[in-house]
Amino acid sequence: MSSTHGRGNIELLSATLAKAKSEDRAALVAYLPAGFPTVDGGVEAVKAVIAGGADVVEIGLPHSDPVLDGPVIQTADDIALRGGVKIADVIRTVREAHEATGAPVLVMTYWNPIDRYGVERFTAELAAAGGAGCILPDLPVQESALWREHAGKHGLATVFVVAPSSRDERLATITAAGSGFVYAASLMGVTGTRASVGAEAKELVGRTRKTTDLPVCVGLGVSNPEQAREVAGFADGVIVGSAFVKLLLDAPDLPAGLAAVRSLAGELAEGVRRS
């Protein structure tokens, strides 16, 4: 099911989000770091969340200084880095997950590793692996021209992150430069599970929608079906990461972890259907 001639899968991503909308529901977007608990285990975890009901998957590129990530994802990143995970393993995770499931798979990464690896090389390899694009939480739009040029050439989406602190004028600048979807961070702070996702996210989605026709997906803090249902009431997609990663961290072994993430994906998939 891989894409041809090194073209990325932005069309697949857009079609998947549009299909969810046509079914009058939000898309379920799952986040898992590459190389965790191992490279092979990470690939199996992606397959498990898609089998459970996730529509789209974000593969995290483990980073030694993850400013946006809370303790759960930091712990997983640390395990992956100590296991020797490399960018080649991230690309391999994308390829194997996409080929096995046909689902759109993106990479979420800080800018520094791509800059060091080489923008042209990274975009070419991600596209050849059938990747759908990249989420770049710390790349300022005004410094993104080089990345967007190469991403566009290879058919990859460039997903930018907006936050409740983003002013309307800034939102318009960010959404005009992005493609695929807009990642709306539900609150100021780092990733992690939270008791409530709240009104800030709803207001941010409303303000973002006034600037763009791109789908708006909400992440940071969604961890259970009730929260997924709440966010699905106003967003095009619900992004869940730490809750999946925590299940894998807490599991006694990989098979138990895979069963747990598959089960949670199923519960969340019910949640995004807005009953």
DSSP assignment string, 176-220: HH--S-EEEESSSS-----S--HHHHHHHHHHHHTT-SS-EEEES
The per-residue pLDDT for 66 is 61
Active-site annotation holds for 115: no
Smallest CA-to-CA distance from 18 within 102, 136, 104 is with 104
The per-residue pLDDT for 186 is 78
Among 69, 77, 96, 236, which one carries the catalytic annotation? 69
Sheet holding 182-185, edge to edge: 157-159, 133-135, 105-108, 56-60, 27-33, 237-240, 216-219, 182-185, 161-162
3-state secondary structure of 56: strand
Greatest CA separation found in the chain? 48
Domains of the chain: residue spans and CATH:
16-272 (3.20.20.70)
The per-residue pLDDT for 19 is 97
Question: pTM for the whole thing?
Answer: 0.93
Show the tokens assigned to 61. 């590129």
The per-residue pLDDT for 111 is 95
The per-residue pLDDT for 188 is 53
H or E stretch covering 266:
helix 254-271
> Residue 48: CA atoms inside 13 Å, Cβ hemisphere, count?
23
Number of Cβ within 10 Å of residue 140's Cβ equals 10
List Cα–Cα distances, 67 to 34, 64, 74, 103, in angstroms.
Answer: 17, 9, 9, 28
Residues 246, 140, 131, 20: is their CA dihedral positive or negative?
positive
The per-residue pLDDT for 42 is 97
Active-site annotation holds for 230: no
Among 44, 55, 58, 236, which one carries the catalytic annotation? 58
Q: What is the mean pLDDT of each run of 10 residues along the chain (275 residues)?
A: 63 97 97 97 98 98 77 91 95 97 97 96 98 95 96 97 92 97 78 62 95 94 90 95 96 98 98 80
Residue-wise pLDDT tens digits, 122-160: 999 999 999 999 999 999 999 999 999 999 999 999 999
